[in-house]
Amino acid sequence: MVIYDITDDDLRLRVARFLRSKGLKRIQKSAFIGPLTSSERANLVAGLRRIVRGYDKVNIQVFPLTEASYRRRVVIGVDTVHEDEESIIT
Amino acid sequence: MVIYDITDDDLRLRVARFLRSKGLKRIQKSAFIGPLTSSERANLVAGLRRIVRGYDKVNIQVFPLTEASYRRRVVIGVDTVHEDEESIIT
């Protein structure tokens, strides 16, 4: 799972696109999830570091989740995610 | 770990305060984490459902994390969280 706080609109969009290109799925506006091996996760982290280099006000956290953690998650409320990214960054 | 997408400013603030009152710590603007037993987590979920009742545009996800998942997390960038909640909701 990847969660992020990114102030810059363009950068936030680039990070979201990068995560999607790596096969992750959006579960909230600033949260993506997906099945990655350890080496894929390391590549993902390296790619994220490259993308955000030079920006401040960026915080990204990458959590390796177990299958059990994912299965036992509780979702409250409606799906607030719109795949039209342009609407998310407004 | 609790992550949320909440459109309403007041509700978002109430949820953040509730999570803090349960001993969770903020790790991003919309993410909290803390050590809870299964029954504490069930209480937390019940409390969150109560707080958000009647609101739409709310999505909260609660993940039970293992110690290993937490220890092996990767943090990229700076700490963007300010504990002054008023500044967060602007």
- What confidence category does residue B79 fall into, taking pLDDT thresholds of 50, 70 and 90? confident
pLDDT at A36 over 90: yes
Instruction: Classify the complex by whether its ipTM is higher than 0.85, answering yes or no.
Output: yes
Amino acid sitting at position B57 = K
- What confidence category does residue A90 fall into, taking pLDDT thresholds of 50, 70 and 90? very low
Distance in angstroms (rounded) separating the CA atoms of residues B2 and A17? 24
From chain B, pick out residues whose CB is under 8 angstroms from the CB of A79.
59
The closest of B70, B18, B27, B66 to B45, measured between CA atoms, is: B18
The rounded mean pLDDT for chain B is: 90
Q: How far apart are the first and last CA of chain B?
A: 24
Hunting for tokens 């006000």 — which residue is that?
A: A57
Contact A6, A12 (CB under 8 A): yes
Amino acid sitting at position A45 = V
In chain B, % helix, strand, coil (3-state, to 5) comes to 40, 25, 35
State residue A83's pLDDT score.
Answer: 63
pLDDT tens for residues B34-64?
999 999 999 999 999 999 999 989 999 999 9
- What confidence category does residue B90 fall into, taking pLDDT thresholds of 50, 70 and 90? very low
3-state SS class at A68: helix
Contact B88, A7 (CB under 8 A): no
pLDDT at B88 over 80: no
From chain A, pick out residues whose CB is under 8 angstroms from the CB of B62.
73-74, 76
Distance in angstroms (rounded) separating the CA atoms of residues A44 and A38? 10
- Could you give the percent of chain A with pLDDT greater than 90? 83
Hunting for tokens 């409606």 — which residue is that?
A: A78
pTM: 0.89
- Cα-flanking dihedrals φ and ψ of residue A66, to 5°? -80, 160
Q: Pick the residue with more confidence: A58 or B80?
A: A58
Hunting for tokens 């810059």 — which residue is that?
A: A8
Within 26-85 of A, beta carbons closer than 8 Å to B belong to: 27-31, 45, 48-49, 52, 55-66, 68-70, 72-81
Contact A34, B1 (CB under 8 A): no
What is the average pLDDT across A59-86?
Answer: 85
State residue B87's pLDDT score.
Answer: 46
- What confidence category does residue A11 fall into, taking pLDDT thresholds of 50, 70 and 90? very high
Of A31, A59, A73, the CB nearest to B77: A59
The rounded mean pLDDT for chain A is: 90
